[in-house]
Chain A
């Protein structure tokens, strides 16, 4: 059974960079065939796709966030990471990591989510 677990600071100051890591267990990122994704949910709001990465390093980002987002993968640790720069209060959200099967357009496994608050 694949499991995903987000980790990282719960509080980030405005203008700084938000950094989160997703650790994957029960499966290998380097085995290929999946897009490793970040999705966020503003408080009381809907879901917003941030982007995803293939194990080879190919990335796909939401155009509205592309200038501030970097998603990377560390196959040796079976982890992938999110960096979101120049954050503001509008980036306060629950951040989820999720897996998408490359050949199938849906997210089949999700992490539990982690709340990141942007505040001074």
Chain B
């Protein structure tokens, strides 16, 4: 059971838009930056979004992030088959058991 809640899967057709939600609490998302990671099949996770909505160099602007209260959202527009991957949100949880937490991951299928 992950501290951050993500839908197990989402799907959409090529060219369409999809959003992936990440729900937490005041001890994590509510008071800390959120980052997003893309994990293509058989590879290591890759930083996609940091500090809620910033993209590292080389990440296309088809990927976007936002945060509101205790939830965060990853948006992907102009879907491509190469976007099929698992996506994870992550943040610091500053509760008594201070630790870094990830969401359970969302499998994106591009139909």
Using CB atoms and an 8 Å cutoff, list the residues of chain A in contact with chain B.
46-49, 60, 62-63, 96, 104-108, 110-113
Contacts and interface: CB of A to CB of B under 8 A. Distances in A.
Given A104-B33, A105-B51, A112-B43, 9 more contacts: A46-B105, A63-B99, A96-B45, A104-B51, A105-B50, A106-B35, A106-B50, A106-B51, A108-B50
Among B50, B92, B99, B103, the one with the most A-chain Cβ atoms within 10 Å of its Cβ is: B99
B63 to A, nearest CB: 14
B101 A111 contact: no
Nearest to B95: A63
Given A62-B99, A107-B35, A46 B104 contact: yes
Contact of A105 (B32, B44, B88): B32
A47 B35 contact: no
Contacts of A47: 37, 45, 88, 90, 102, 105
Contacts of B2: 46
A96 B103 CA distance: 17
B17 interface: no
Contact of A49 (B32, B37, B99, B104): B99
A72 to B, nearest CB: 19
B18 interface: no
A43 B47 CA distance: 21
Among A96, A107, A108, the one with the most B-chain Cβ atoms within 10 Å of its Cβ is: A107
B82 interface: no
A104 B101 contact: no
A105 B49 CA distance: 11
Interface string B85-107: 00010111000011111111100
A46 B103 contact: yes
Contacts of B105: 46-47
B88 A46 contact: yes
B13 to A, nearest CB: 26
A46 B91 CA distance: 14
B33 A106 contact: yes
A111 B44 CA distance: 7
A104 B50 contact: yes
Contacts of A108: 47, 50, 56
